[in-house]
Structure 1
């Protein structure tokens, strides 16, 4: 009996498998629907030419990956069911391809079918019949050209793409991400409380509320596409001040939604509001915690759905205090304590007066003018840059916003120049800017930041100290 050495047997088996494998790929190839029957999707694609491949006869490895399938550069591909690469005919055979060139638009290295509509950042683009790639020309909130201009311009701060703003137009940013109505002249002329600094008084070079009052200064919330910064900045300042003035016995994060839905007299919810009315409401009606009455976040304005109705009311208990008359809209929470403040007061716009107030009584509220470049702020000491000055008017937009100032400092820039700044909390969530905060030039009324600054006291009685302890 003839005996076969084991090694040879293995070799024979392997050879058989390889032949089978080649056959199988051939069958697969023989049965594959032709690429041009599916429509060659990349008519201008240079595949054979790039690799300089033109193989004689049938060479199954004379193949290239092609938009998720395989195309060939051998003569065998040129049959009724064709799987040739797009440039096989003109490059390997020197003849025009047997299929009509694809109808579409070449854009950014890809071909797009005619009449398709695509989004590029905030603009709609359409592929026209003549192969023209046609886009709207709306200025976008995230503008890569502006980001580059700022970062190359040594303005003292870095710009970047905040992903939540991608795809929004600049106009939408101004309409939906701010939302404080500039106060009327009578409110702007509100008497300022003059803080008297004694001649010997020296304010520190740097101060941060969260270092003086640890655990009492709250992190920024996110107003989403709700033009409600009037409610967010008011609730933010009141939260910190109630916590500080109760010596930490009460540390609520107050509810912007309570203001948005219930403070409706002359206010427009997610379409904007006035700071003086918000403070009036906090004094005379009070609000509950954000836990009790969470933010619903409304997407961009839709006329059929104005602000969600008010789900929290309060009644007087005597001595000016109030209590809730409803359960928390968030059914999981029972604590529906009402928090109030004393009358709001306005500070002088001298930086020293604002600093002294901040250091003694806690964060303050400031109005500011937001320009197109502020949305792109990533880190550093912000000041409005001139990068949009040469561009058409729609690229230069601004609107009124309100924020919470939490501290100050100064920094020496690489050129040796010292810049003084405020630190402030915004309401665009923790991933914008410096962990939701920003620094802005101090002492020159940059973007009106020092023009209208408000303070308030948390309404705290002895019984609160006991009750909340």
Structure 2
């Protein structure tokens, strides 16, 4: 019994000693902390103690404030040779000059940056120069707040906003990494058009949406990220819907853009751009698997090195059909069915021909020129604004893109004007535009969207009609 009590007393003594030692160590840590002014007061003119009305006597650890990633104190315990005082402790609480020369810097917003300190303002890097002046790069940014305000204050029929995924990118980067369809060669642009003839007296509806005629067969838009691969995304998107429609819903695949990006390498550049005719040739001759089987790898423009190797090949199995020779890159699925299409065909550029094709056979693929203001689209009926015409040339940029047209409609504006529009799915994710979609003026070839429109038939046999 005595030995047990003695052991308990000894244990309590040791624990008490460790707690006291821990407290002393905690106190010593603060006593020996490197002074903020020794490592460089980055906010020498900052009013911390003064703004909070704090000047504490003795040591009160709660008498502290966050300071640019660390902590500073306004109690008199900090007034030692090695100091962790707030920058204004000496003049605010003691009424004396600080014991260190204030570091020269630049005021920017609510912060002071030291000489040669840098700050990112959207896509531009700003540097504090020796004369305490900010010097910033002058790159046009993809998200342009001045243009957003000008569009929203004007009468352009659509609204602009900040798409957060574009913040910090330059306009040049947006054109280079967010589009990616190479304008077709003259021989492809001159391919014969298939003219659709309206029956005598046939009247097309004023509004149509593919998802209403074919519910559950029209797929939602994907996000190409900073991969310049709209050539693959728009092709896979149109083919997905067309295979689903033409199989009468027996097959409803969301086809894999990555299969095209990695495996369609003949005259194609993957995430650095590609040709629509080459993409359709590959879908016809080789076929692709579903996006679930071969998901998008999401390569970014900052990544160097070669494109991801092709992880899916196919072989002929008779009657023009093909089968996969490998398992899915996504190990969680075994469904590696190969989907193919018939040769793509070009439609006439008349809006009624495009409308009739869309209404009868499903969404179509369209080439379009993307201008600097399109990246800012938030909602409404888009048309390119002239706002950049008064600015230097580097603010006026455009590049070729491809999208999926899904329907059309009309809207009457408050001033009585009626605007006709197309509805289309982009490949910039569901948070851009109208849930990943946009509306654009119809009948006037806005941004060349009616100049090169393609349709295709899904390759569907009787044996596929029982397959899901």
TM-score bucket (shorter structure)? 0.7 to 0.9
Q: Partner residue of 1:295?
A: 296
> How far off its partner does 1:131 sit?
2.4
For the pair 1:367 / 2:367, whether they are aligned, the reply is: yes
Q: Give the TM-score, by structure 1 length.
A: 0.85
What is the distance in 2 between the residues matched to 1:207 and 1:443?
15
What is the distance in 1 between the residues matched to 2:338 and 2:78?
78
Q: Give the TM-score, by structure 2 length.
A: 0.85
For the pair 1:151 / 2:149, whether they are aligned, the reply is: no
For the pair 1:208 / 2:175, whether they are aligned, the reply is: no
User: Structure 1 residues 390, 78: CA separation in 2 closer, same or farther (over 3 Å shift)?
Assistant: same
User: Structure 1 residues 236, 53: CA separation in 2 closer, same or farther (over 3 Å shift)?
Assistant: closer
Q: In the TM superposition, what whole-angstrom CA distance separates every residue of 1:156-206 from its partner, at most 9, and x where no partner exists?
A: 111111111111111111111101011111111111111101231111111
For the pair 1:401 / 2:395, whether they are aligned, the reply is: no
CA contact (8 A) 1:73 1:85 kept: no
Q: Partner residue of 2:429?
A: 429
SS of 2:138's equivalent? coil
What is the distance in 1 between the residues matched to 2:324 and 2:140?
46
For the pair 1:269 / 2:270, whether they are aligned, the reply is: yes
Q: Partner residue of 1:280?
A: 281
> How far off its partner does 1:450 sit?
0.5
CA contact (8 A) 2:365 2:405 kept: yes
RMSD: 3.0
Q: Partner residue of 1:19?
A: none
Q: Partner residue of 1:414?
A: 414
> How far off its partner does 1:153 sit?
1.4
Matches within 5 A, 1:26-425: 36=37, 39-46=40-47, 65=65, 67=67, 69=71, 72=74, 86=87, 97-300=98-301, 302-305=303-306, 307-425=307-425
What is the distance in 1 between the residues matched to 2:90 and 2:379?
55
What is the distance in 2 between the residues matched to 1:367 and 1:350?
15
> How far off its partner does 1:445 sit?
0.6
Q: In the TM superposition, what whole-angstrom CA distance separates every residue of 1:224-281 from its partner, at most 9, and x where no partner exists?
A: 1111100110000000000000000000111111111111111111111111111111
SS of 1:243's equivalent? helix
Of residues 403-412 and 153-162 in structure 1, the stretch that sits farther from structure 2 once superposed is 153-162
| Runs (5+) with no aligned partner, structure 2 | 1-26
User: Structure 1 residues 181, 38: CA separation in 2 closer, same or farther (over 3 Å shift)?
Assistant: closer
SS of 2:399's equivalent? strand
| Runs (5+) with no aligned partner, structure 1 | 1-26
CA contact (8 A) 1:262 1:309 kept: yes
What is the distance in 2 between the residues matched to 1:433 and 1:335?
33
User: Structure 1 residues 441, 71: CA separation in 2 closer, same or farther (over 3 Å shift)?
Assistant: same
Task: Tell me how many residue pairs correspond in the alignment.
Answer: 440
Q: In the TM superposition, what whole-angstrom CA distance separates every residue of 1:274-319 from its partner, at most 9, and x where no partner exists?
A: 11111111111111111111111211165522x2122222222222
SS of 1:318's equivalent? coil
Q: In the TM superposition, what whole-angstrom CA distance separates every residue of 1:30-81 from its partner, at most 9, and x where no partner exists?
A: 96977655654432234677689999x9999xx885737566599x998877
Of residues 146-155 and 129-138 in structure 1, the stretch that sits farther from structure 2 once superposed is 129-138
What is the distance in 1 between the residues matched to 2:286 and 2:250?
21
